[in-house]
Structure 1
Amino acid sequence: MSPAAVALADYAREHAAVHAVRTTVFVEGQGVPVELERDALDPVSIHVLARDADGTPVGTARLTPDRRIGRMAVLPRHRGRGIGEAMLAALVAHARAQGWAEVGLHAQLHALAFYARVGFVPCGPVFTEAGIEHRRMVRRLPGASPVEDAEAAAAVLLGLAAHARRGLGIYSRALDPGLLDRREVVDALRRFATRPGRRQVRILLQDAAAPQREDAPLLALAQRLPSVFELREVADPVDARYPSAYAFNDAGGALFRPLGQRFEGEGGIEDGPAARRLAHAFEPVWERSRPCTELRALG
């Protein structure tokens, strides 16, 4: 299939196309009551439409005046083609052009990873909307978003891996159980590591023995891809007392957690100053740390 074309829609003229897609996805596909599918925000929102090569509407989304993206819908047979990402990019670009500091959305729980890969970070509790569990997510334009828990920290890592060009750096106590062993995080790092071209993931540890004892999933991935992953353990006692944990990529994304044993902190895919600061701090510690040759062999 050829990629769909995404453009801002004239709601007054193209509302029938917008609602045809949303009715198929939400009302027929998810059982959302038809009276909840439309609301008073539709006429005052910015809408996008994705059309297939023959001009048929296959996806839609909107940006409301309260700076929230919503009604993200792609027809089932057209999913997996990057249409959702393209619609999000168009709406984020519009929000940025308006000078907005951030944009938010209410994500269905099964879609958290999708939105995380394009830079949204979950915040607040899970809630029910139209009978479906959601969580609020935000993206700074640019800047860092608060990271409240492991799910939010994992979301930032998904965004860092998705947007990294060639390199990622991770400073961790012991591969952060509860975070770096999450399946979605390991899968995101695997996707990054197996992209075409040269890739590098450097991981600095304070305790290299712990992940080996625990059979950390990320360690197993690093052993299968030794040309991409390199692990070192800090040797300087001062470095071993460093309290924080962080990650950064070479595209201006960063995650910083002041206390490495906790998940709270801040991060985002558009935080160039933090990414440069962390990279600057990482390099000298990396150079004076010892290679973890004992971790390179498959068990």
Structure 2
Amino acid sequence: MAFQVENVDWVSGKNRLTQLRERVFILEWRLPREAEFDERDANAFHILISNDKREPIATGRLTRDGEIGRIAVKQEHRDQAVYQKLFNALIGLAKIEQVPTVSVSCDLEGVEHHRQLGFKPSGPVFMEAGIPRQRMACSVNNFPLPDVTKMH
């Protein structure tokens, strides 16, 4: 399947970004709406991935201070290729915008996966929307970007 990767701002992409994030976080994961949308959306960089029918299937945001988050992927598209394209686009955007370090907040089960990507724990475990999480950070220059040209 061919994907279209777009860098969108909040103003022009708000409807598509909101619909996708609501579907994943609010309807599927049952997180409170007020925990999903915040004032940082307006100034953040957003990536939107669409399928070959131009339907949004994945999104993520990069804040100006380097936090990667709000990763929402439709359930039927949760595979390594989509996540890799999304992270590559976000890291590439961080490099373009000269954001030296990126951070993520992941569930504790995701800590080892993020370590393998070059992230290191940063600070103590904390609770977010009732879920224990760990903040992790990585220099964008140390982030291994795989060759995505071989992916669908």
- For the criterion TM > 0.5, the same-fold answer is yes
Residue 84 of structure 1: CA displacement?
1.5
Residue 143 of structure 1: CA displacement?
5.0
Identity %: 29
Number of the residue aligned with 1:249: none
Question: Structure 1 34/17 Cα, relative in aligned 2: closer, same or farther at 3 Å?
Answer: same
How many aligned residue pairs are there? 146
Q: CA RMSD in A?
A: 2.1
1:109 and 1:133 in contact (8 A); partners too? yes
In structure 2, C-alpha distance between the alignment counterparts of 1:37 and 1:120, rounded to whole Å = 24
Question: Structure 1 54/117 Cα, relative in aligned 2: closer, same or farther at 3 Å?
Answer: farther
In structure 1, C-alpha distance between the alignment counterparts of 2:102 and 2:88, rounded to whole Å = 12
Q: Which has the higher contact order (CA 8 A, sep 6+)?
A: 2
Q: Which runs of 5+ in 2 are unaligned?
A: 147-152
Question: Structure 1 47/124 Cα, relative in aligned 2: closer, same or farther at 3 Å?
Answer: same
Deviation track 1:245-293 (CA, whole Å, cap 9, x = no partner) reads xxxxxxxxxxxxxxxxxxxxxxxxxxxxxxxxxxxxxxxxxxxxxxxxx
Residue 133 of structure 1: CA displacement?
1.4
Structure index of larger Rg: 1
Residue 81 of structure 1: CA displacement?
4.5
Question: Structure 1 3/122 Cα, relative in aligned 2: closer, same or farther at 3 Å?
Answer: farther
Question: Structure 1 102/40 Cα, relative in aligned 2: closer, same or farther at 3 Å?
Answer: same
Residue 103 of structure 1: CA displacement?
1.0
TM norm structure 1? 0.45
TM norm structure 2? 0.85
Number of the residue aligned with 2:66: 67
In structure 2, C-alpha distance between the alignment counterparts of 1:115 and 1:86, rounded to whole Å = 15
Deviation track 1:135-191 (CA, whole Å, cap 9, x = no partner) reads 0011113259xxxxxxxxxxxxxx7xx97xxxxxxxxxxxxxxxxxxxxxxxxxxxx
In structure 1, C-alpha distance between the alignment counterparts of 2:74 and 2:22, rounded to whole Å = 10
1:18 and 1:49 in contact (8 A); partners too? yes
Number of the residue aligned with 1:11: 10
In structure 2, C-alpha distance between the alignment counterparts of 1:15 and 1:68, rounded to whole Å = 19
1:32 and 1:131 in contact (8 A); partners too? no
In structure 2, C-alpha distance between the alignment counterparts of 1:102 and 1:131, rounded to whole Å = 27
In structure 2, C-alpha distance between the alignment counterparts of 1:99 and 1:19, rounded to whole Å = 27
In structure 2, C-alpha distance between the alignment counterparts of 1:10 and 1:100, rounded to whole Å = 17
Matched residue SS, 1:82? helix
User: Where does structure 1 differ by over 4 angstroms across 4 or more consecutive aligned residues?
Assistant: none
Residue 27 of structure 1: CA displacement?
1.0
Residue 72 of structure 1: CA displacement?
0.7
Number of the residue aligned with 1:108: 107
